[in-house]
């Protein structure tokens, strides 16, 4: 189970087992029940594995160009029609016309939101996932987002999406690290998959400061510590245990380095 209760606050468990080869994954790992969102950035090395194991795949606008251009090369599989996203979502100002025509002809649903220039393509994707997910499936839903780091305004917008949908499990991925929100509504237990992630990590608030954060399982643990931008935040920390625990009075970002995965 993902949820337990400790001293009247629920525990939220986290694991990056979606990055493990299928053979090494626990049979009933809830995190394997994920939706993949592909952003418009070079695909990560481990994309073939994420794609194969996803329950549903959504391209954010120009993310479809990346699948079209890069996926067959990455997999040495010249058959482009093996990699068809179920949905392409966004304002459609970056997807190339031939890419849109191709995926449309292969059955992808094209969700054209060009009238909306107020929210980003990633925001539109997450809204759509939330809308499509039946209530009883929401607690176990996990969304993996590839290509989340690059241009800084996009990075900020991508992180803002974690806050805008803080009741959803969303993991931002780059080739180098993952980022997720740890909502203050829960105690957190992070199970470290040391074959694929760590040891470098960071934990800090963005926006609202934290007046009290306590951790275990890190080389430099926090004990009822205050963190804010402009003062102390925990970066260049090191995981020191298979399990890291976190409790805080503020929403925090958790980030951990990824090893050279393929
Ligand atoms: N360089 C980048 N760094 C981080 N995220 C990116 C970057 N480029 C694109 N993305 C993500 O991919 C999504 C889709 O990209 P796309 O290029 O279609 O967006 P866009 O809104 O047309 O971008 P732009 O602001 O460049 O016009 C964006 O909403 C963003 O989340
Ligand atoms: C205050 C403010 N700043 C920027 C934008 C522009 N913008 C934000 S998201 C988006 C869509 C990108 O695909 C665009 C164009 C805005 N609307 N409002």
Judge if the beta carbon of residue 188 lies within 6 A of ligand 1. Answer: no
Closest CA to 125 of 192, 172, 78, 82: 172
For position 29, what pLDDT does the model report?
Answer: 53
Which residue has the least CA distance to atom 17 on ligand 2?
A: 118
Q: What percent of the chain has pLDDT over 70?
A: 94
For position 6, what pLDDT does the model report?
Answer: 60
Mean pLDDT computed over 31-36: 80
Asked if 187 and 198 count as a contact pair (C-beta separation under 8 A), the reply is no
Mean pLDDT computed over 24-47: 81
Nearest listed ligand to the Cα of residue 93: 1
Residue 33: pLDDT band with limits 50, 70, 90: confident
Domains of the chain, each with CATH number or no CATH: 1-25+176-262 (2.60.120.320), 33-175 (3.40.50.10240)
Residue pLDDT, tens place only, 121-138: 999 999 999 999 998 888
For residue 28, pLDDT beyond 60 = no
Judge if the beta carbon of residue 146 lies within 6 A of ligand 1. Answer: no
For position 27, what pLDDT does the model report?
Answer: 58
Question: Under DSSP, is residue 103 helix (H, G, I), strand (E, B) or coil?
Answer: helix
Higher local confidence (pLDDT), 25 or 121: 121
For residue 114, pLDDT beyond 50 = yes
Mean pLDDT computed over 232-249: 98
For position 258, what pLDDT does the model report?
Answer: 97
Asked if 188 and 203 count as a contact pair (C-beta separation under 8 A), the reply is no
Judge if the beta carbon of residue 153 lies within 6 A of ligand 2. Answer: no
Mean pLDDT computed over 85-104: 98
Burial of 20 (0-12, 13-18, 19+ CB in 10 A): buried
Gap between the Cα atoms of 85 and 83, Å rounded: 7
β-pairing, 225-227 with 87-90?
unpaired
Quick count: other Cβ atoms within 10 Å of Cβ 159? 18
**Mean pLDDT lowest among 109-113, 123-127, 257-261:** 257-261
Mean pLDDT computed over 192-199: 97
For position 1, what pLDDT does the model report?
Answer: 42
Query: In the chain, how long is the greatest CA-to-CA distance?
Result: 56
Phi/psi region, residue 132 (left: phi>0; alpha: psi -120 to 50; beta: rest), is: alpha
To test the ligand 1 pocket, which listed residue (36, 38, 39, 155) has its Cβ within 8 A of the most ligand atoms? 39
Measured in angstroms, how far is the CA atom of residue 39 from the centroid of ligand 1? 7
Gap between the Cα atoms of 206 and 227, Å rounded: 10
Judge if the beta carbon of residue 42 lies within 6 A of ligand 2. Answer: no
Mean pLDDT computed over 240-248: 98
Among the atoms of ligand 2, which is closest to the Cα of residue 157?
9
Residue pLDDT, tens place only, 54-94: 999 999 999 999 999 999 889 888 789 999 999 999 999 99
Gap between the Cα atoms of 218 and 199, Å rounded: 10
Measured in angstroms, how far is the CA atom of residue 157 from the centroid of ligand 2? 10
Phi, psi of 74 (to 5 degrees): -60, -35
Judge if the beta carbon of residue 10 lies within 6 A of ligand 1. Answer: no
For residue 30, pLDDT beyond 90 = no
Nearest listed ligand to the Cα of residue 125: 1
pTM of the model: 0.94
Mean pLDDT rounded to a whole number for the chain: 93
For position 31, what pLDDT does the model report?
Answer: 46
């Amino acid at each position: 189970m993902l949820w337990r209760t400790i001293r009247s606050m629920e525990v939220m468990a986290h694991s990056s087992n979606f990055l493990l080869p299928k053979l090494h994954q626990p049979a009933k790992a809830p995190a394997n029940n994920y939706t993949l969102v592909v952003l418009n950035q070079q695909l990560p090395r481990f994309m073939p594995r994420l794609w194969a194991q996803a329950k549903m795949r959504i391209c954010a606008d120009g993310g479809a160009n990346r699948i079209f251009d890069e996926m067959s090369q990455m997999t040495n599989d010249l058959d482009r029609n093996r990699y068809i996203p179920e949905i392409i979502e966004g304002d459609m100002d970056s997807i190339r016309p031939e890419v849109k025509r191709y995926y449309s002809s292969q059955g992808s649903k094209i969700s054209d939101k060009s009238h909306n220039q107020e929210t980003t393509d990633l925001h539109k994707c997450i809204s759509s996932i939330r809308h499509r997910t039946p209530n009883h499936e929401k607690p176990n839903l996990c969304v993996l987002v590839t290509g989340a780091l690059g241009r800084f305004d996009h990075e900020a917008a991508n992180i803002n999406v974690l806050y805008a949908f803080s009741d959803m499990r969303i993991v931002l991925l780059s080739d180098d690290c993952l980022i997720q929100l740890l909502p203050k509504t829960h105690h957190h237990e992070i199970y470290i998959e040391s074959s694929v992630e760590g040891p470098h990590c960071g934990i800090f608030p963005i926006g609202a400061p934290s007046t009290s954060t306590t951790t275990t399982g890190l080389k430099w643990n926090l004990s009822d510590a205050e963190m804010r931008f402009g003062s102390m935040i925990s970066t260049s920390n090191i995981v020191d245990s298979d399990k890291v625990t976190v409790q805080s009075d503020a929403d925090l970002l958790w980030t951990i380095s990824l090893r050279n995965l393929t």
